[in-house]
Amino acid sequence: MFRLRGTAVRRRLYARRVSVLGGLTALLGTLFLGAPTAQAAPPAPPSASTARTYLASLTVRAEGSLDGYSRDKFPHWITQSGTCNTREVVLKRDGTNVVTDSSCAATSGSWYSPYDGATWRAASDVDIDHVVPLAEAWRSGASSWTTSRRQDLANDLTRAQLIAVTDNVNQSKGDQDPAEWMPPRTAYHCTYARMWVWVKYSYGLTVDSAEKSKLTSVLNGC
């Protein structure tokens, strides 16, 4: 769901400024420290060669229908421990110097979005992306799953299925697969493809021919 905060002009200017600063920070980190100083950290996906093996084993099938789909059929942001739900756990994991209140809500910190290289100082500017979107999963086989299995996918912290990213970049992705959308930051394409394949392989989801072709091309260039 889209959210309006401030004027559209002010938001665009701020996003542009932060994106530039985020890119400079990432560059300086790479030159002097070997990596950005603040970087999202979902579980590391398999290597490109392993991802290519996984991809080759996936069933190629035209995407199914969205008939009957609802996000409610993928119960998400469930309680993980204490008062912390899945979103809050990922915000804490992927952020830097994150401070939370008694209800586990992030009150301060910073979040580096690897999709676009921007850094954000407010949790409200960050979405938790399902790398394989829930609607995409539904079309790729999850429509026949139990609700429990769909809940597992929607809250999976053991694989690279959840990652904190810039909210409107996540919204631009929607439910598109890699043949239709890739992160704006091309340096992240290899990682993104490895993450995507890992999730699809782990859950036995199918790929369509255009999706497989794009993933093959990206992985071959890793």
Please name the residue ranges forming H helices in the chain: 8-32, 48-57, 86-94, 134-139, 147-154, 167-173, 189-203, 209-220
Tell which residue, 130, 123, 135, has the closest CA to residue 166. Answer: 123
Secondary structure class of 78 (helix, strand, coil):
coil
Please name the residue ranges forming H helices in 77-161: 86-94, 134-139, 147-154
pTM comes to 0.82
Backbone angles phi, psi at 204, to 5 degrees: 65, 30
pLDDT tens digits, 7-56: 333 333 333 333 333 343 333 333 332 333 344 578 999 999 999 999 99
* pLDDT, the chain, mean: 86
Percent of the chain residues past pLDDT 70, beyond the cut: 82
Q: Which residues, other chains included, contact 102 with Cβ-Cβ below 8 Å and sequence gap of 6+?
A: 83
